[in-house]
Structure 1
Amino acid sequence: MGRPQDPHHPRSFFPFGNPFRVIAPKGSHMSPQLLALLQAFEARLTDRLSKLMLKSKEEALSLSWMTKAMESLLDSYNDIRTLISDLELPVSDWDDKWIEVYLDISRKVLDICNAFTSEFSRLITCNLSLKFALHNLDGNSSKQFVRACSSLDDWKQHIHSMDHRIEKCSTILDNLKGSLDLSKVKNSAKGKVLMQAMYGVKVQTVFVCSVFTAAFSGSPKKLIDLDVADMYSWTPAFSRLQSVINEEIRTRFSNGKFSVLIELEVVDAIVKELNPTIQGGADATVETKSLLKTVEELGNAEEKLSKGLDLLAKRVDQFFKVVLTSRDDLLFAPRSAKAVKNCSLGGNANLKLVS
């Protein structure tokens, strides 16, 4: 931490200073009220991280766990918005440069959300092939079996592809990881509280988004391991969670799975079992009882996959909107205060917004 920055080093997420100095800030004294706000925030963050611990290994990486992870992230960003209100920002030394950095970094988070949304659309489109196959498997003519087989082949071909935007997520996340090395903080107790809270949320953001990226890319190389100092109250919960989740993902990939998404793996396994049967065309009717059972299993698995993707996509959309709103919150507070100050001094209150 604290290494000199150069033109090639990623810009800091929040240039408030080294987060490890927040515990004992120099030149500013944290009041009991501010300390209570920070401690309450970090207690809630600890609770969110603890609730993401797996009840069983089979739970990761399920779509239901990913949905909980996104809900947890969404709650943390809403908590930041509440903290900003409780701190009664703006602080007097808020700087336009800080806002520009936040706008830049939140734009990157929004880009990641867009990439995830694009991947959801791809997976949902792939599921249309499954639905068409299931529709044809309702009959017993050789023509329908041929169409069903073609649909399943189409599903297999497209499900193993990947949206190019997911690849870009890794670059963005590497940049965010690098920006955890923060520069000096200005002498503001409120700024230090906000910075430390945002630091925790940023760590949570990088972790969750790297897990999603690894899951969607089909590569454990996309995982990011963060080393967080143990001076934060939420560090033990985060370290345990990161260790368990990342280890489980790497284990699954090492076992030859094409995806760590449980629901997707289940569908893939059933399709592999079904294909040899229906490739026989009309002869497949000989295995009617066995075929009906396998088709029913595929129908249930496809429905579970579709519902899981739909719910997760909705949570990512909600997160996207919360990040947008938080940008507005941080833009409005300092600029409204500056406008009042300019008016009181007889200055020009027409301010140019940073975009």
Structure 2
Amino acid sequence: MSRPQDAHPARSFFPFGNPFRVIAPKGSRMSSQLLALLQAFEARLAERLSKLMVKNLELPVSDWDDKWIDVYLDISRNVLDICNAFSSEFSRLSTCNLSLKYALHNFDGVSSKLFVRAYSSLDDWKHHIHSMNPRIEKCSTILDNLMGSLDLPKAKNSAKGKVLMQAMYGVKVQTVFVCSVFAAAFSGSPKKLVDLDVADMYSWAPAFSRLQSLISEEIRARLSNGKFSVLIELEVIDAIVKELNPSIKCGAETIVTESLLETVEELGKAEKKLSQGLDLLAKGVDGFFKVVLISRDDLLSAPTSAKAVKNCALGSNANLKVVL
């Protein structure tokens, strides 16, 4: 004897009826519209499934030579170190900015006590902004290590290896140059700049040479003219602070004039612009740090998983690799 619910199995699972009746009507004939819809769906499904199995994958990590892996790990470690040094400088500059914010807060009042506090805060800013970050000073050693590793190992009898080595060389040249610019900007020393000579065999060599010449000349010119930083925002704030200090040093004798208020307003705008710029730079360096960190992790973990896939391959499909 059958149970009552067995009489309508579809309705028990779909309380509002069988939804598949909409796309699968009674009868074996299918309209041209439904047939086209089905074919389009199956084509998309086949394409997605095909993408999971890639033939002749270019430069798979599993095919990397051990010496290439060692070179990349050594290079990326130095890059992570220099990113950490730059991040520490962003933190130092942000801390200095707190003194500016506190000074601007005190300028909102008119009492001599608040002006004394403002003067003290600006004095603190001057003291800390001109101090040196020891981690930035050590960047020269890291840059020397990166410079020393520009000559990559030869990839004999390996077309893929040659492509990999040339790509790594291009990335390293760009990384070394950008890092040297940051180091020079943060330290106020043109000695941190490096001059890289790229062979003409690389199609990007002329563009790089022009960029390097333009930026290096600008930085050296600014620092040789007595500027303590190539960061324009810092120079602007430094000039405003020097203008404000004599006006508010006396505290009780400070006279609030329209000129003084305009100067304070300029300081507020300059501080805001500097804060925004530092935030953008910090996010950029942090993003680059994460990319390098993830690439190191992928490089260390991918060979094992790739070999496992290879071992599981069967017959003519042995040259296929799963892409997850």
Q: TM-score, normalised by structure 1?
A: 0.69
| Structure with greater contact order relative to length (CA < 8 Å, sep ≥ 6) | 1
CA distance in 2, matches of 1:86, 1:337: 14
Equivalent position of 1:27 in the other structure: none
CA distance in 2, matches of 1:91, 1:190: 11
Q: Would you say 1:158 and 2:128 are equivalent positions?
A: yes
Secondary structure of the 2:140 match is: helix
- Does the CA-based 8 Å contact 1:136-1:147 persist in structure 2? yes
CA distance in 2, matches of 1:340, 1:239: 44
Residue 146 of structure 1 aligns to which amino acid in structure 2? V
CA distance in 2, matches of 1:275, 1:329: 54
Equivalent position of 2:298 in the other structure: 329
Secondary structure of the 2:138 match is: helix
Q: How far is the alpha carbon of 1:182 from its aligned partner?
A: 2.8
Equivalent position of 2:217 in the other structure: 247
Equivalent position of 2:153 in the other structure: 183
Residue 195 of structure 2 aligns to which amino acid in structure 1? D
Q: Would you say 1:127 and 2:97 are equivalent positions?
A: yes
- Does the CA-based 8 Å contact 2:180-2:193 persist in structure 1? yes
Matches within 5 A, 1:176-325: 176-285=146-255, 287-325=256-294
**Which segment drifts farther, 300-309 or 168-177?**
168-177
Unaligned 5+ residue runs, structure 1? 1-84, 345-355
Secondary structure of the 1:198 match is: helix
Q: How far is the alpha carbon of 1:161 from its aligned partner?
A: 1.2
C-alpha deviations, 1:76-107, integer Å up to 9, x for none?
A: xxxxxxxxx99533277522232122112101
CA distance in 2, matches of 1:122, 1:97: 38
Aligned residues: CA RMSD: 2.0
Q: How far is the alpha carbon of 1:341 from its aligned partner?
A: 5.2
- Does the CA-based 8 Å contact 1:93-1:188 persist in structure 2? no
- Does the CA-based 8 Å contact 1:89-1:333 persist in structure 2? no
2:106 aligned to 102, 114, 136, which one?
A: 136
Q: How far is the alpha carbon of 1:132 from its aligned partner?
A: 0.5
CA distance in 2, matches of 1:138, 1:92: 63
Secondary structure of the 1:181 match is: coil
Residue 337 of structure 1 aligns to which amino acid in structure 2? A
CA distance in 2, matches of 1:144, 1:86: 71
Equivalent position of 2:143 in the other structure: 173
CA distance in 1, matches of 2:223, 2:263: 26
C-alpha deviations, 1:167-213, integer Å up to 9, x for none?
A: 12111111111211233213211121121111111100000000000
Q: Could you tell me the percent identity over the aligned residues?
A: 83
Equivalent position of 2:75 in the other structure: 105
Q: How far is the alpha carbon of 1:230 from its aligned partner?
A: 1.3
Residue 283 of structure 2 aligns to which amino acid in structure 1? K
| Aligned residue pair count | 260
Q: How far is the alpha carbon of 1:320 from its aligned partner?
A: 0.6
CA distance in 2, matches of 1:92, 1:284: 72
- Does the CA-based 8 Å contact 2:154-2:162 persist in structure 1? no
Q: Which runs of 4+ in 1 moved over 4 A?
A: 340-344
Q: How far is the alpha carbon of 1:163 from its aligned partner?
A: 1.8
Equivalent position of 1:20 in the other structure: none
- Does the CA-based 8 Å contact 2:87-2:285 persist in structure 1? yes
Residue 302 of structure 1 aligns to which amino acid in structure 2? E
Q: Higher Cα Rg: structure 1 or 2?
A: 2
CA distance in 1, matches of 2:78, 2:62: 27
Equivalent position of 2:43 in the other structure: none
Note closer, same or farther for the CA distance 1:261–1:221 as it changes in structure 2 (3 Å cut): same
